[in-house]
């Protein structure tokens, strides 16, 4: 089974060793047009019945997580899966309370629960006690235990959406190019003038698929009023 960062073990009470390989998009062919080992976690995410209790983990590891840190470890029991936070895989000062990390863990639990139901397993989530604290150490910490029991399989729209979640910043790349061009052209002017700069979005708001309004990044206008900087010591 090709995975992102996941560790699997079989049998009752099997505890996962710490280790494994991080998923590396740039050296596994992720930009190769949808084929190759890097894409197997998405194409084979439903697994097979023989995977047993491990089967929902294929969906759990596809969860959204901060900057692809994949901060999870799993312990597999006879009828439960325990999720641990690998707190060494954090964003440092960017996430001092590890809030972003826990959002990623929550997303993994959500995928696991959705997949479990789709594969005929009822999932009861028992969160671990505790609160967020400032700059915790890197000790592995239990996040939740998911108890799984047989049930009739139910596959809804959210189940089928699991492999389709992707981050796409493409629509905003045009804005990035415009801003880089604008800043490069204005750099000399900014060094020699005192400016008040305003950035204005242009473009009509459009309804997205969820029905909410979104302003498409069609154009960006920059308005600035400048006056010369007085030499030091002058009035």
Q: In the structure encoding, which two tokens stand for residue 122, read together?
A: 């009822």
Query: In this predicted structure, what is the pLDDT of residue 158?
Result: 96
Domain end point (choices 129, 164, 199): 164
Same-domain status, 34 and 120: yes
Label residue 220 by pLDDT band (50, 70, 90): very low
Query: Does residue 234 sit within a domain?
Result: no
- Give the 3-state secondary structure of residue 48: coil
Same-domain status, 103 and 186: no
Domain that holds residue 179: 170-228
Same-domain status, 158 and 181: no
Same-domain status, 186 and 103: no
Same-domain status, 92 and 122: yes
Q: Does the pLDDT of residue 192 top 80, yes or no? A: no
Query: Does residue 177 sit within a domain?
Result: yes
Same-domain status, 29 and 48: yes
Same-domain status, 97 and 33: yes
- Report pLDDT digits (tens) over 70-122: 999 999 999 999 999 999 999 999 999 999 999 999 999 999 999 999 999 99
d(CA 123, CA 110): 10
Same-domain status, 127 and 193: no
Contact 8, 54 (CB under 8 A): yes
Please tell me the least confidently modeled range out of 109-113, 204-208, 210-214.
Answer: 210-214
d(CA 125, CA 148): 9
Q: Does the pLDDT of residue 13 top 60, yes or no? A: no
Query: Does residue 73 sit within a domain?
Result: yes
Query: Does residue 185 sit within a domain?
Result: yes
Q: In the structure encoding, which two tokens stand for residue 7, read together?
A: 């560790």
Query: Does residue 14 sit within a domain?
Result: no
Same-domain status, 154 and 174: no
Domain end point (choices 131, 164, 197): 164
d(CA 119, CA 156): 11
Q: In the structure encoding, which two tokens stand for residue 132, read together?
A: 């967020």
| Averaged pLDDT score across all residues of the chain | 76
Same-domain status, 39 and 141: yes
- Report pLDDT digits (tens) over 161-189: 999 987 776 777 777 777 777 666 655 55
Query: In this predicted structure, what is the pLDDT of residue 121?
Result: 98
Place of tokens 């759990």: 60
Query: Does residue 141 sit within a domain?
Result: yes
d(CA 47, CA 208): 33
Q: Determine what percent of the chain is predicted with pLDDT higher than 90.
A: 52
Q: Does the pLDDT of residue 200 top 90, yes or no? A: no
Specify the number of domains making up the chain: 2
Pairing mode, if any, of strands 80-85 and 72-76?
A: antiparallel
Query: Does residue 190 sit within a domain?
Result: yes
Same-domain status, 144 and 174: no
What is the DSSP track for 1-27? ---SS-----STTB-PPS------GGG
Residue that wins the pLDDT comparison between 84 and 200: 84
Query: Does residue 12 sit within a domain?
Result: no
Same-domain status, 76 and 156: yes
Domain end point (choices 118, 143, 164): 164
Query: In this predicted structure, what is the pLDDT of residue 189?
Result: 52
Please report, for the domain that includes residue 132, its CATH number: 3.40.109.10
Please report how many Cα atoms fall inside a 13 Å half-sphere around the Cα of residue 35, on the Cβ side.
Answer: 1
């Amino acid at each position: 089974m090709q995975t992102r960062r996941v560790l699997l073990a079989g049998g009752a009470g099997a505890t996962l060793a710490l280790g494994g390989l991080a998923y590396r998009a740039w050296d596994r062919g992720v930009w190769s047009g949808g084929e190759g080992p890097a894409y197997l976690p998405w194409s084979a995410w439903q697994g097979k019945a023989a995977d047993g209790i491990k089967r929902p983990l294929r969906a759990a590891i596809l969860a959204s997580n901060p900057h692809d840190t994949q901060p999870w470890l799993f312990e597999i029991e006879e009828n439960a899966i325990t999720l641990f936070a690998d707190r060494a895989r954090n964003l440092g000062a960017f996430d001092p309370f590890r809030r972003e990390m826990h959002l990623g863990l929550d997303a993994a639990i959500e995928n696991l629960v959705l997949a479990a139901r789709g594969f005929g397993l009822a999932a009861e989530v028992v969160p671990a006690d505790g609160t967020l604290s400032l700059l915790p150490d890197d000790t592995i910490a239990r996040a939740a235990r998911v108890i799984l029991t047989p049930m009739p399989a139910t596959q809804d729209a959210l189940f089928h959406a699991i492999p389709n979640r992707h981050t796409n910043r493409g629509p905003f790349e045009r804005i990035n190019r415009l801003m880089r061009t604008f800043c490069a052209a204005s750099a000399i002017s900014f060094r020699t003038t005192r400016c008040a700069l305003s950035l204005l979005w242009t473009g009509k708001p459009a309804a997205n698929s969820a029905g909410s309004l979104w302003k498409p990044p069609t154009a960006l206008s920059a308005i600035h009023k400048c006056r010369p900087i007085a030499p030091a010591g002058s009035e």
